[in-house]
Amino acid sequence: MLTLSLLVTLISSLSITQAANPPVSPSPSTRPSRPLSSTQDCNGPVVFSGTGGTHHPSRLVGYRTTQAEAGVGWNAETGEFTVHCAGLYQLSFTGATDPGAKLVLKKHSAATNSSEWTPIISTPMGGGSNVVILNLIVSDQLAVWTEGTGALLTAQDSDVHVTSFSGFRISKNNKVELKS
């Protein structure tokens, strides 16, 4: 009975959070146009999962389908996740590329005034998958990019997508120390 009660509470908080927070639509390498979330927005879960990669001319990977979303910050069209709630996050991505290309998770840090995206972790050439856990602060941005001489493979032999980018906040953290 406790499990059912917890599930009902979680679903209710997801519905309220989604209704109060319409999706943010930043363009690549820009900050979100809407104000950052309030403390109330950060009390609930933060999770996103996009599948079905699309390839932008900038080599940024976008996603056709959002499989799950709770909280704020996910933009499937651009493939960017903007951190509105500081904390410890688990991020994972997978996909197939031409033999001369790889997928790279990159971070645009809020701690610097740079417009650069810093590589965090990548797949081998030809694609693959990876998982990483990061301390993130408000306004950090993360996205998956392709690098190399090939492209993201987006043709599907079936209705099942082969590219994904997912993340969730493991714990809240109001005072995240930056790793130098």
pLDDT in tens, 4-14: 454 444 444 44
Strands 127-136 and 118-122 turn out to be: unpaired
Q: How far is CA 98 from CA 89, 126, 147, in A?
A: 29, 5, 10
List the one residue out of 153, 154, 117 whose CA is nearest residue 28. Answer: 117
Angstrom distance (rounded) from CA 116 to CA 141: 11
- pTM for the whole structure: 0.73
**Residue 74 near residue 43, CB atoms below 8 Å:** no
Contact 41, 85 (CB under 8 A): yes
What pLDDT was estimated at residue 35? 47
Distances from the Cα of 50 to the Cα of 4, 30, 56, 117, angstroms: 27, 20, 15, 20
- Pick the most confident of 10-14, 35-39, 142-146: 142-146
Nearest residue to 142 (alpha-carbon basis) of 169, 161, 160, 124: 169
Report pLDDT for 161: 78
Q: Which domains does the chain have, with CATH numbers?
A: 2-25+42-172 (2.60.120.40)
DSSP assignment of 98-112 equals -TTEEEEEEEE-TTS
Residue 18 has what DSSP assignment? H
Look up residue 166 and give its two tokens: 């997912």
Label residues 80-117 b or e (16+ Cβ within 10 Å = b): bbbbbbbbebebbbbbbbbeebbbbbbbbbbeeeeeeb
Q: Is the pLDDT of residue 75 over 60?
A: yes
Residue 156 has pLDDT above 90, yes or no: no
Output the CA torsion 106→59→84→44 (10° steps). Answer: -90
